[in-house]
Every structure is written in structure tokens, then in C-alpha cells.
Amino acid sequence: MTSIKKGILELNGVSQVAIVLEDEKITIEGDHLNRKAITKKLDGMGYPEKGNNTLFKEAKSYVSCAIGKMGA
């Protein structure tokens, strides 16, 4: 869980990351967030967005990504 948080915090504009394992959700806050970059980063770490999994990744955990408080 710490590696996910650290990886997402490395992305431009991200100020906070909250992970709720029970709900399989990640909430990301920041300014000028790039959803595509965030989902690509999560996918690269083995956590594809729900609904976008491949057969290869079915055995891994899935997360849904909620991007909140996006700055203009």
C-alpha cells in the first residue's frame, strides 16, 4: 500500500493519496490532475482500474480510482 501511495505522489499535481483496501478504492487529490497518467501508473504497478483488467492481470487486486478536488 505504501508503494502505491509513493508511486502516485510522484505524479505531477498530486498532493494527497488515500487508500481504502476494504473498498478497493484510491482517492487522489491535487491540482491539474491527469487521469490518464494516474490510471497508467496504477496499471503499470499491477493495479488496473476496475473494468480495464486483462486476463494476465486477473489474479491481482483491482482498484477503482476516484480523482477529487481537481484544480482548474
Q: Determine the angle formed by the axes of helices 35-44 and 2-9, rounding to 10 degrees.
A: 140
Asked whether the whole model's pTM tops 0.85, one would answer: no
pLDDT the model gives residue 59: 38
CB 26 within 8 A of CB 8: yes
Q: How does pLDDT run across 3-30, given as a tens digit for each residue?
A: 889 999 999 999 999 888 888 888 888 8
d(CA 61, CA 22): 11
CATH code of the domain made up of 2-70:
3.30.70
In DSSP terms, which residues pair with 49 in a beta bridge? 63
What are the backbone dihedrals phi and psi of residue 68, each rounded to the nearest 5 degrees, phi first? -120, 165
What ranges do the domains of the chain cover? Answer: 2-70
